[in-house]
Chain A
Amino acid sequence: MTAPEPGIGGSLPEGLALEQRDDAPVRMYHVSKSYLAGTFALHDISLSFGRGEMVFLTGSSGAGKTTLLKSLFAAERPSEGQILVLGRNIARLEGSAIPFLRRRIGVVFQDFKLLASRTIEENVGMALDVLGTPRRENRQRTFQVLKQVGLQHRRLHHPLSLSGGEQQRVAIARALVNQPQVLLADEPTGNLDPELTLEIMDLIADAATRGTTVIVATHDVSLIERYGKRTIRLEGGRVVEDSPATGRAA
């Protein structure tokens, strides 16, 4: 399902250690980010995220989780270092190239970010609209992905008539409808009850089994334990722990 990764050959920044897997869809080299001079939201971070890998990003509030995710879809640029996402160097990416990168990345937020004035179908279809996907194909693919999250029967409803869990499923459907190679989720279950949390996390984990690189920021320790995936802990913008998957499946 995942398209072949384009080689990045000469685009690798000079002088950087190459010990990381150089076919990984997401790579960070000595990345620092400071919003205010003298303070670091991210500090000298080097990480690599493989194809089909699911990774939890954890750490206390203000540790830099959101900043890290934002830097991966070019909502923030690194102050130092290089970030390679799907063969593109975020640090040097031209503004006009950002949309093309984002079309290959799905993003899910704690607050869903759905438009209340549009139907479920329209909310999901927006990700296809920006590609100019013809109407009929748009409806078919939207239907398929809504079916995948179990909401095809609600497609003509509006977001506010749905429960929180259902709204997040719509947001996941929107993130997945373009079959992204990278899926980023920032506290996707932060607003949801425990039962709904598992339901949402299963949908996100499914994407990894189809070959998508999945990075989930969360505070929820029980969730991390339950899934047994690779877990990266940030503190003060630094990586303080990077523990591999335990092999325990959910």
Chain B
Amino acid sequence: MNRVATVIYLLFRTAVRGLASSATTSSAAVVTIAITLVLVGAFTILVGNMRGMLDRFGGDLRITAYFEEGLDLAEARRIAGSVATVEGVHQVVMVTPDEALARFRETTGAEALLEGLASNPLPASLEIALLPEHRTERGVGRVEQALEGLPGIDGLAKGQEWIDGYARAANLVRFAALGLGAVLAVSALMIVSNTIRLAIYSREDELDILSLVGASRTFLRVPFLLEGTIQGLTGGLLAILVLWLGFVAFTEPIRVGLSFFLGNAAPRFLLCGEAAWLVLGGAILGMMGSAAALSGWRGTTG
């Protein structure tokens, strides 16, 4: 073992001994960090799922034009043909009432809703898919305008408004998460910093002696930074564990309810990258907390 390796070993040993000797306050700091990260992580999962759904819906965003009842098939084909020439339109598909009914059954599974009805209430329609770059409010407006004057069209369902609203909601959740995360992070920071301050105080004798025999600033301070960082890392890993257990326990019973929002897609947990950021965030939080405590430390003898 050379000197650098020995010093690194000693810094870690001091940090681990320090954590062990202040197990109670250290655990409190770990739990605080974990709570912060669980909340941030829960919001991340929520937003992630909302965005995933937006992408799916956005991907097959269709404008649906409903035909008047009793319109004959040839006339409907002619209208479909003229819609297909509108700028930005990618594809036009005709959906018969029977097809519409089959699809409703398939996507919702809500047979009961339809059972009481004697005849199929769903009208024939055109599903108009836009080119990706035209899937905007303006693109939708253009198709709307082209269809407006046409005879035989009963109404339009755009979907876009709903999607815009949903995207706004997802953004709102994200900002709420960031705001709440920031507030919690500050309180976690203060608790870690306080824990480290106590640790410094309780080890003053040792620090004095080390300083007396020529310990450098690094040698005295790095163990405390390590302690904070280890607390943060542990808090981060604990948060991931709690989130995962919560995810499993929570999503299973409400899967049917969720399917209304998510369609056939399974709700997803944190992505690997997101989980890594969460743990890293914990480590950074812990390190900053101890850095704050150290910045208020006057040092030892001399």
Q: Could you tell me which A residues sit within 8 Å of B by CB distance? A: 73-76, 95-96, 98-103, 107, 113-115, 126-127, 129-136, 174, 178
- B6 close to A134 (CB less than 8 A): yes
Q: Which residue of A lies closest to B1 (CB)?
A: A134
- A98 close to B302 (CB less than 8 A): yes
Q: How far is the CA of A99 from the CA of B210 in the complex (A)?
A: 10
Interface residues as binary, B193-215 with A (CB distance below 8 Å gives 1, 0 otherwise): 00000000000011011111111
Query: Can you spell out 13 A-B residue pairs with CB atoms less than 8 angstroms apart?
Result: A98-B302, A99-B214, A100-B214, A102-B212, A113-B205, A113-B209, A115-B209, A130-B213, A130-B214, A132-B3, A132-B10, A133-B3, A135-B6
Given A132-B6, A134-B6, are A76 and B302 neighbors across the interface (CB < 8 Å)?
yes
B23 to chain A, nearest CB (A): 15
Q: How far is the CA of A64 from the CA of B84 in the complex (A)?
A: 101
Complex interface: chain B residues within 8 A of A130 (CB): 210, 213-216, 219
Name the contact of B214 in the complex, choosing from A75, A102, A113 (C-beta under 8 A).
Answer: A102
Our count of residue pairs bridging A and B at CB distance below 8 angstroms stands at 68
Complex interface: chain B residues within 8 A of A131 (CB): 3, 214
A92 to chain B, nearest CB (A): 14
Q: How far is the CA of A96 from the CA of B215 in the complex (A)?
A: 10
Name the contact of A96 in the complex, choosing from B1, B3, B208, B217 (C-beta under 8 A).
Answer: B217
Q: How far is the CA of A134 from the CA of B4 in the complex (A)?
A: 9
Complex interface: chain A residues within 8 A of B208 (CB): 113
Q: Which residue of B lies closest to A174 (CB)?
A: B213
Q: Which residue of A lies closest to B3 (CB)?
A: A132
Name the contact of A99 in the complex, choosing from B1, B3, B215 (C-beta under 8 A).
Answer: B215
- A115 close to B206 (CB less than 8 A): yes
B295 to chain A, nearest CB (A): 15
Complex interface: chain A residues within 8 A of B216 (CB): 96, 99, 130
